[in-house]
Amino acid sequence: MKPAMETDVFDVHGIRRQEGSVGLVIFERDDILLQHRPQFGDHTLGDIDTEFLAMLKDIRELRVRFGFIWRHTTFPYTRGTGIDNARLTQLLDDLLKVSGASPDFWVEAIHSEGLDQPPRWPGASELDVILKLAEWYDVDPTMTVLVRKGKYHHYSSATPAFTEILYPDSNTGGSRDSDRQASLVWLRTKIKHALKLP
């Protein structure tokens, strides 16, 4: 039986609640849940990856605790006239709820690479967010997984012992649909292995 949601915490930087009970999986929102957009483009609900959403439903059934982080890449007053992050987060949250894949959290992080962020930017670095989430949910770092797009690992062996999974691109050769399905099966298997699930 699905555990009752214990609490919801809403603020300007995201949503936190209790849904899952196994480990902690942190997905990058952009380019994984939401398809890639051109630089400075605003995301919309039409960008959501429905096949990835189906995989989220599968891991929700395994009671895996999961959620999303996103990073600022532009200044707050230079974005286009599209939907803002707070509204987009609420819409995505509602959509995932009715799809049977309600996440445990949505959390904002500042872009931690480079020096192009203003010094008073609200929020915390990606690593700070990962460690804070593990603390908030009382999860051992060895049962924490970060899933992100990229060709290279972002964190070195000197960082806490969470697992970093690089989400593979599936647009090189072969059938796009079959490559996409294979990538999602691979990702689900890697998550289950990291969390010691059968």
pLDDT at 139 over 80: yes
What average pLDDT score do residues 17-22 get? 92
Domains parsed from the chain with CATH numbers: 8-194 (3.40.50.1000)
Q: Please choose, from the candidates 36, 33, 38, the residue with its C-alpha nearest in 3D space to the C-alpha of residue 53.
A: 33
Q: Looking up tokens 């099966």, which residue turns up?
A: 185
Q: How far apart are CA 41 and CA 56, in angstroms?
A: 25
pLDDT at 153 over 50: yes
Alpha helix segments (H runs only) across 108-175? 126-136
User: Contact, 93 vs 16, CB < 8 A?
Assistant: no
pLDDT digits (tens, 9 = 90+) for 51-64: 888 899 999 999 99
pLDDT digits (tens, 9 = 90+) for 92-114: 898 898 888 999 999 988 654 44
User: Contact, 24 vs 65, CB < 8 A?
Assistant: yes
Helices and strands (H and E) in the chain: how many: 4, 8
Q: How far apart are CA 14 and CA 33, in angstroms?
A: 16
